[in-house]
Every structure is written in C-alpha cells, then in structure tokens.
Structure 1
Amino acid sequence: MKNKTLAALCLGIAFLGCSKSSQNKKTDYPWWKETVIYQIYPRSFKDTNGDGIGDLKGIIEKLDYIKDLGVGAVWLNPVYSSPNADNGYDVSDYKNIMTDFGSMDDFDLLLSEMHKRNLKLIMDIVVNHSSDEHEWFKNSRSSRNNPYREYYHWWPAEKGKPNYRYSLFDVKGDAWKYDSLTNAYYLHYFSEKQPDLNWNNPKLRKEVNDIMIFWAKKGVDGFRLDAFQFAAKDPNFPKFPDGYEKNFIQYYAMQNGLHGYLKEMNSEVFTPFNTMSVSEGAGRNFVDAHELVDEDRNELNMAYAFEGVDIAKYEGYKLTDLKKVFSKWDSAFAEKGWLSVFLANHDQARMLSRFGNDSPDFRNPSAKMLQTFILSMRGTPYCYYGDELGMSNLNFNKIEQYQDIQAKNSYAKALSEGQDMGYFMKKLSFESRDNGRSPMQWTSEHEAGFTTAKPWLPVNPNFKTVNVSSEEKDAASNLNYFKKMVNLRKENPILIHGKYELLLKDHPNIYAYTRTLGKEKILVLLNFSKEKSSVHIKEMSQQPDIWINNYQSLESKNQTVSLLPYQACIMKL
C-alpha cells in the first residue's frame, strides 16, 4: 500500500515527526563537528564591480543567503595576491588580497559581518608551494648565496639532472625546471609557476606560521592546508621505481618530517588561537589518516580523504564501490578521529553530473538524493556552492573554452603523445575542474545575476530555470530541500554522531544504512538509479515515521519498500 501520510513531506513539514529522545540531547562537541561547511569559490560567487569576476563585496552582499542555508561556516578558496596562473593557488603575497577580489578592508568587513551572523570563516592556506612571482622565489633564484635560496628546492646542474619527479600539471610531466640564471633546477610538483617550498628549512616554517598567525589575529576561525600532505621531501631526492607516477601518492604523501611540521604548527598557531584545521588529503592509508587527526596527536582536527570523490569517472562508477569506500572510512574512524564528508569541491566537476543525473527528468530528485547522502553521513559535511541548487557541468567541447591550467596542460600533453583526442575531449568535458567553477546562478536575468559584464567563465545555459530566485519561491525546489535537510541534521545529533551500519551492501542501485545513537535508530534509503527499485528492509515497521522524503510519497508494504528513481528518504525505526 502507499503511505499517503507522506504526501505533505515536500510541502515544508518534512521533519515535524522528529522526536527528541533523552539520548539525542546536544552535548559539548567542537563546533567543526556539528556544523555544515559551505565552500565558496570567490571568483565565481558574485561580482559587484562589473569586471566579470566575483569579489569579497559580492560574498558580503550574499551573507544573509548563506546564513539562511543553515550552514555554520564558510571555506573560502584563496583570495591572496596572485598572478593567477592556477586561479589563486599560486600565491605571490600571503598577507595581501588579490585586487580582483578587493582590498584588505573588504576582507575585514567580510569577517566582521560573518561573525555578526555567527558564521565562521575557514581560510585556504597554500604552502606546499608559492608563486614563482613571490618575493621569496625572486630572491631565491637571484643567486645561490641569497638568504632565500633555501626556501625552495634547488639542484645544481653541475651535479647532473636530478632524479625524475612527476609533475601533476606540467605538459612534459617533469617536476624539475631548469633555470639558467643560477644554472640549477627547481622543483614544482604542480605547475612550473608553483615552485615547491622547502619545509626542511626552519626559517621557512617560521614564515608560514607567522602568516597563519597574521590571519588568526584577525579572527579567522580555521585553516585548510592545500596539498600539505606533499610538503615533506627528502632533500637527496633518491630515485623512485619506474612508473611510480601511476601511484605517486605512495611516494609524495606523508614523507619523513611532515608530522613534526604539523605538531610545530599546532603548538604555534592552532592551539594558541583555537583555530580549526583540516589538510587536503588524508595520506596513503588509514594509519596515515589517524596520525594526522587523532586528538592525542596534536596535529590536525579533521581528515579530508579523496577516495570517495575520485570514484566517479567519465567511464562511470559502481554504487557498490562507493558504498565500500564510504563504509570502510567510517569504520576506520568509528571510535577515534573525525572525517569530512563530501562529493564535490573546486577540483572536481559538478557533483550532480558525476554522481547523479543532470537530465531535466531526473535533475531535481537526484540532486536532493545526493544532498540527503552527504548530510546524513557521520562526519562534517562540506557543501560546494551551487550544489544546493542542482548546478551541473558546462559541457565544453573545445579546448579554447577552458580556463583551467590543468585542462590546458593535459590537452597539450595528450596531443604530444598522440592520444585519441576525440575520447580525450569527451573525458575532459565530463571531468574538468572548470565544470565546478562556473558562476553562481542567482537569477534568470542577464548572466544569471552574477555580473553585469562578461563573466570570466561562462554561466551554465540552464540558469533560466536553475537559480536562487526561482528556487526560493518553490517549496519543492532543490534549494528548499537542502535547507530542510541541513535543519534536520542540526536538530538531530543522531545524524552527526550516530553509529553507521551499511545494509544491502551488494545491491547495485540502493544505498541503505542505519544510524544509531543510544536507543534511537534511523534508516536512510537512497536510490542511485533512474530505475524503480524494491528492497526488503527487515528493520522497518509497518507504519514508518518518515523524517524527510524527496518525493511526495513512499510505497511500502510488509517491510518492502519501492523506491522511485533517485528517491531518498530517512525514517525512524
């Protein structure tokens, strides 16, 4: 039979049935465990000065929108001075603001206005490398005797070319760049415009700690350390096995010295200023991850592992693999440590296009289903700007359309190697980082209300229907569903701290799991398919107490549930 009582769920009362049992009371946990973090790519959020580039004043203008989402913190991608070779991840001055984004006064106002709204700010700190236009590097390359020489990794040419190191961004894949000025090579794990900093040097480490203290004194609430798992390097640069770049993480991440750097950073910055900390990447294995974030390690607060987000490729993915990855990470952190939960960020294509279905027929239910997943798992959810609307990929088909240095360099590399460029372009169109960086879609007006000028990256053509203005007025929209789901999580600690247990691990379409806290238990059912699927759930009662549902009804009978395409629901057991 169909449970008709569920029809009202999409009309704004999705969580009225959530009873608060005694074991469900709030307890004293750090704020970063109990909030939802909203990630903003500032270049693409809101332009206020008509140059086609988002700015800090644009974020200030939209703070009430962000607050209304129910989130408690914002992770802001880099806004420091930069020549912008890698969209701000090549920093030329860590204590100044890129003119594209505004001024330090604008930043100070942003932070003040956020704190007035009880929103916290997490800054991106990019210190595995700097820009080659940073004063440190300019001095470093000027002379072998310059005091800043040891701020970077240099290899004298007279010793012969150093052992090969793989570059993630370089066209030739070589991380050593020859510089004729001092007849030496410098190291760059990313672009040649991003020379790697030498963390073996205590003077460099003090400089970085001083930079973080500068921002912490302003009142910044947390730091996200970009690519920091790569920071430690053996200065002898021994030879690695042939073909190691296929599994470069094993050789680049968590090398000797890294934990010492983090303990020093913790004692100098994180603990004295009570700032939250998370590093991009979680090392090579669970041991690495725990050594980064377990409380007694005095290093970082939270692991940010990529294994789950990396599953979805152009060729597709298996739900059973997704379940396996998220379940094993949860199990590894069930008793100790803390995880980030996410399916999208600035280095990925859009979540909806990769893990859901961005066709008009299934856009809305699949976007809601994915949000239900992220916001019902144990750990701190990270929600990327625009995903609350169901924003999707740009679907570029020409290399001239791309702005991303990684896309351009990988295209040049593929061309030089004689790859099948037709296949390459289709894969790039699906996976490119530019997909996740298109301008925020505010209205159905000119350029989605993002700018009055030509935007730095095209607005997705679907902005006429997928935008904040339209979705705010629609009770059944992705946006309003996201707000309900955030509030549901905030009101029910079981969704934050409850034990996770996977059900139906081999089902190809349904992701089902329970969360348990004390005597309370809930069931989460997610259909990751465009097909209707029926499953038997022995834990279900005859009349389930539905907390939230992305459709107006749920078909259930005798503990068998029939889920519509991309249907998602949470019920109390």
Structure 2
Amino acid sequence: MAQNEWWKGAVIYQIYPRSFQDTNNDGIGDLQGIINKLDYVKSLGVDAIWISPFFKSPMKDFGYDISDYRDIDPMFGSLDDFDTLIAQAHQRDIKIIIDQVLSHTSNEHEWFIQSRENSLNAKADWYVWADAKADGSAPNNWLSIFGGSAWQWEPRRCQYYLHNFLTEQPDLNFHNPDVRQAVLDNVEFWLKKGVDGFRLDAINFCYHDAQLRDNPAKPKELRQGRGFSEDNPYAFQYHHFNNTQPENLAFMQEIRQLLDRYPGAVSLGEISSEDSLKTMAEYTSDGNKLHMGYSFELLTNDYSAAYIRETVSKLEQEMTQGWPCWAFSNHDVERVASRWHHSDNTDPQQAAMLSALLASLRGSVCVYQGEELGLGEADVAFSDLQDPYGITFWPNFKGRDGCRTPMPWQDTTEFAGFSSQAPWLPIAAEHRKYSVEQQLAQPNSTLHMFSHFMAWRKTMPTLLLGSIEFIHTPEPIVAFYRHYQGECTLCVFNLGDKAQSLNLTVNASDTHSDLPHNTGQYANSEVSLPRFGCFFANI
C-alpha cells in the first residue's frame, strides 16, 4: 500500500477533548491531557486520532460553534500545545485528524459580527440572509435540527439569517466564492501545521438552495432518523433544499485539490442526508472528492443481522469507487454498549464482539473514546445536563451528554483520574468498574481484547484492504468473507446472547486459535458460536 494511502483500513480513535484528561484542574479536558495519554492511545493499536473541536468558541455547542478557526480555545491550551501534540503523536507513528466545521460559524465570529451590521459591508453576503415574507414570517419552512425554524431575525439588517443548527450557529453562504476561499485558507492553516487530515463536520450542509424553495412534507410513517421522531419537527420534512445541494460536489473537489498538495492528508466527511449512503458514494467518487465518507447508518437503534448486512451491502453497491468508514458510536449518539445491549448492564463479551465486527467490515473504522472499555451510556440527571439539544427535548430525548462524560482512568479516586476537580459533566458511577486501571490489571478485559484484536488485524491484509462478500444467514448471525489478492478470511459473529450454530461447508486452513476473540468452533460443516461469539478462519 502506498504510504500516502495510510488511511485505507485505518483505525481512527475519536477523542472528545473536554472529557479525555484534564491537566490544569479546571474540570475540562485539554490538549496536554491528550499528550499525556498518547502512550495509552498507542497501546490500543490504532492508527490515528480524530480530535473533536478545540478552537476558540463560545461553547454554545461545545466547540462546534467556532469563533476563530486559527486559534485554540484557552480552556484546551495553546497553539504551542498543539504543536507539541503533533510532534509527540508523530514520534509514536500516530496520525492526527482534526474536526473542521465548515458549513457554519459561531455568531461571535468576526465575519458574522461584520455581516450582520448592514447589507452593504464587505462581508454582507458571507452568510445566508433573506427578507421576511410580506407578513413578517420566515422566508421559507426550513427547520433547525435543534428544534423550530432554521431562520432567526436580525434587527440590525431587518432580515433573517439561516441556521441549520443552533441559533448561535449561522450558516455561511458557499455560493459566494470569497467564502469558499476563506474556508479553504483556514483548512490550509492546519495543513501547514502538520495535521494528517480532517473530519469534516456536516459537510453536506455547506450549500443551500439559492431559490430558498420550501422542503416538502414527509409522511408520518417515514419520520425517523438520527434522534428525529415525533418529538422533533425536523423529522416532518424531506430535507431536499437546505442541504446536500448539487453545487457541493464542486466544493468537495476544491477541498481535494488542496489536500492533494499535502501528500498523505486525508478527508473524512460526516454525511447525514435523506439518502446518506448514496451521498457518501457521490462525495467519494472519481478519486477527486473526499477520501472517505462517514454516515450515521450504523449509529441507529436497529441491532439486527439483516440491518447490518443490508446497510453495508447497499453501500457496497453504491460506492464502487470510494472508501467507506464505519462507526458504532460517537459523541452525538447513545453509546453502542447501551444502544445494542441485551440486558440492563453492558456486557464485556458483547462489547468485545462489537469492536471485532466493526473492525472486520470493509473500510476504515472510527472508534469513540471509551468504546475500547465497553462503556455504556451514562445516566445524567436533568440538573447536570449541558447539551442544549437534550435540555430542549428532555425527557423524550436526553441529548448527547450521556456519551460525553469523562473517561474513567481509575476507579478509586474521587474523579476517576480524569481531574482533581469536579468535571464539567459528572463521572458516571457505573463507569468506575470499567476503568482503564482496572482493565489493565485483568488479562481478559474488554480493553485487552480490543488492543489484541487491533494488533492481529494489522497482520491481516484481507481485513485491511479486502473486498467483502456477505453470506445469507439467519438472525442473529452476521457472516461474510473478506477477499484480498487470492486470500480469503471468513468472519462470523453471533449478535445474540444465546449460543448459535451455522451450517457452512468451507476448508478452514487456519482458525486463528491464538486470537482471544475466536471463541467459535468449526467441525462437521458447522460453525458453533457461544453468546456474543466470533469465528475467524482462513479458507
């Protein structure tokens, strides 16, 4: 594999910096905390770190509302700290991917402060402004993901501005070429600092329909998706016009042209559209747009073999040229150990199996911090909530704080080794027994299983780069072959909490008996799997 294609088959470890490690004792994680834990990250066997936003921000959406794209928010450290992080990570052969939030800024960004003053200034057309209807109402029916209209009245201009997310996150006008260039210049600032790539937040939201056409209504039976249901009116529409516009494909090419000037730099686009798999394929096509696409299709509540098989198979059919990236958890959804659980408590065996399944699919992998420990969703009281999304939609939707609580490094100290002060979100009591310290002392822990599997995976070209061929199996079994340059690996997973068997005639030459995950057995044309079991074999 070419050195510049290091990202193909890579395992990317997502760090939510607020909750990883606090070194200045303010209860909020920081860049120095990431530096201090790089040896731990290295021990996991991952290839890269994706760091959620650490830029200057009023923190209305915890860093996804950026007021200065070229500086570090003081709560996280300084540009010198970031330079140290880059150098220390690269010494350990760990790549650094950072979030870039391009579609919108904070309303405290200097661009917006100037733009909102009047319709004649130099930045007047840098955001999406529109006149009110004759009756004073919003320009159209577009809705914000966080609830209510996507339009906010600005009395200085006597116009509305568009915000697909919070009111404090005004959308940039990508129809303006000066905006596109300014955004690309900000991206290049970090390339010059030595980052290895970007996770592009909500990248399909950059462009809006220039005609501001209304979105059509969605039938009640189809109102579903990432956290969108009857309690959020966002689910009531087909979002045909407020995102995923055809002009965005040309902007993807501009991003790629910039990255191609920095060998090895990679782009990973977060995509959430009406047909995310189709959009992923479009945005990674022809080798001149994004390197990888990343969607929420496996971040849902559907935990069935059929759904996983059909979702991955559909993407395989759509994405004939690009490269996928899969995830079971991130900072926006309930942790997979709770979302796909079979009991009231998270199950270490299930957690280990799910990590192995994720890392066996074709593509690259995003692993969210704590997933290697098997952490479940934390139960955060309403009085402790920080997430505006959860505060608005409580109690039907509790928001994203439950997956953002601090990492439990120790189980005995007051704040679990995360900080010496009370953290910004409370330490989850149920997480203490899954602490890093405890699991390092247990040879068969979820943590050791994770790092062992990732080390083994690096020796398996079939899993890193091979094609995927699913086997039709009954619930709750997922099975597939991975093919690469004449070699083939069989992968079988029992998603259920009871033993299962699968009739399958293969020539199993190597069943990788030294792999702790390989709990299944093959005999007399039958694969036998214990609860949450896995089976791997070269055939």
Distance in 1 (alpha carbons) for counterparts of 2:249 and 2:522? 52
What SS does structure 2 have at the residue aligned with 1:189?
coil
- The worse-fitting range, judged by mean Cα deviation, of 141-150 and 339-348 is 141-150
Q: 1:253 to 1:155 in 2, by over 3 A?
A: closer
- The worse-fitting range, judged by mean Cα deviation, of 557-566 and 32-41 is 557-566
Cα RMSD of the aligned pairs, angstroms, is: 2.1
Asked if the contact 2:215/2:239 (under 8 Å) is kept, the reply is no
Distance in 2 (alpha carbons) for counterparts of 1:249 and 1:118? 41
Distance in 2 (alpha carbons) for counterparts of 1:306 and 1:569? 27
1:512 aligns with 2:503: no
Asked if the contact 1:532/1:562 (under 8 Å) is kept, the reply is yes
Q: RCO higher in 1 or 2 (8 Å CA, sep ≥ 6)? A: 1
Query: Counterpart of 1:223 in structure 2: which amino acid?
Result: F
What SS does structure 2 have at the residue aligned with 1:524?
strand
Q: Percent identity?
A: 35
Match of 1:325 among 311, 329, 332: 311
What SS does structure 2 have at the residue aligned with 1:277?
strand
Q: Report the equivalent of 2:253.
A: 263
Q: 1:225 to 1:288 in 2, by over 3 A?
A: same
Match of 2:387 among 367, 384, 404: 404
What SS does structure 2 have at the residue aligned with 1:94?
strand
* TM-score, structure 1 as length reference: 0.86
Shift of 1:285: 5.5
Distance in 2 (alpha carbons) for counterparts of 1:91 and 1:82? 5
Distance in 1 (alpha carbons) for counterparts of 2:216 and 2:522? 56
Q: Report the equivalent of 1:293.
A: 284
Q: 1:526 to 1:79 in 2, by over 3 A?
A: same
Task: Write the mapping of 1:138-157 to structure 2, written as runs, cut at 5 A.
Answer: 138-157=113-132
1:570 aligns with 2:536: yes
* TM-score, structure 2 as length reference: 0.91
Shift of 1:518: 3.1
Q: Report the equivalent of 2:468.
A: 500
Q: 1:117 to 1:336 in 2, by over 3 A?
A: same
Distance in 2 (alpha carbons) for counterparts of 1:543 and 1:372? 18
Q: 1:540 to 1:355 in 2, by over 3 A?
A: farther
- The worse-fitting range, judged by mean Cα deviation, of 435-444 and 45-54 is 435-444
Q: Report the equivalent of 1:35.
A: 10
Task: Write the mapping of 1:67-216 to structure 2, written as runs, cut at 5 A.
Answer: 67-157=42-132, 160-161=136-137, 162-170=139-147, 173-216=148-191
Asked if the contact 1:510/1:527 (under 8 Å) is kept, the reply is yes
Question: Once the two structures are superposed, what CA deviation does each residue of 1:504-531 show, in whole Å capped at 9, x if it has no partner?
Answer: 34x1211111212233222112111112
Distance in 2 (alpha carbons) for counterparts of 1:27 and 1:517? 16
* Structure 2: stretches of 5+ with no match in the other structure: 220-233
Q: 1:189 to 1:285 in 2, by over 3 A?
A: closer
Q: Report the equivalent of 1:453.
A: 421
Asked if the contact 1:371/1:482 (under 8 Å) is kept, the reply is yes
Task: Write the mapping of 1:486-497 to structure 2, written as runs, cut at 5 A.
Answer: 486-497=454-465
Asked if the contact 1:83/1:92 (under 8 Å) is kept, the reply is yes
Q: Report the equivalent of 2:230.
A: none
1:481 aligns with 2:449: yes
Q: 1:460 to 1:272 in 2, by over 3 A?
A: same
In proportion to residue count, which structure has more helix?
1
Question: Once the two structures are superposed, what CA deviation does each residue of 1:385-417 show, in whole Å capped at 9, x if it has no partner?
Answer: 110011111123x43232111111223xxxxxx
Question: Once the two structures are superposed, what CA deviation does each residue of 1:119-172 show, in whole Å capped at 9, x if it has no partner?
Answer: 1111111111100111111111112222111110111237553111111013xx
Shift of 1:295: 4.0
Any runs of at least 4 consecutive aligned residues in structure 1 with deviations exceeding 6 A, and if so which?
none
Shift of 1:249: 4.2
Asked if the contact 1:542/1:559 (under 8 Å) is kept, the reply is no
- The worse-fitting range, judged by mean Cα deviation, of 115-124 and 85-94 is 115-124
Match of 1:309 among 299, 303, 315: 299
Task: Write the mapping of 1:218-237 to structure 2, written as runs, cut at 5 A.
Answer: 218-237=193-212
Shift of 1:348: 1.1
Match of 2:267 among 239, 263, 277: 277
Asked if the contact 1:352/1:358 (under 8 Å) is kept, the reply is no
Query: Counterpart of 1:56 in structure 2: which amino acid?
Result: L
Distance in 2 (alpha carbons) for counterparts of 1:124 and 1:131? 15
Match of 1:522 among 484, 489, 493: 489
Q: Report the equivalent of 2:228.
A: none
Query: Counterpart of 1:450 in structure 2: which amino acid?
Result: F
Shift of 1:434: 1.4
Shift of 1:241: 2.1
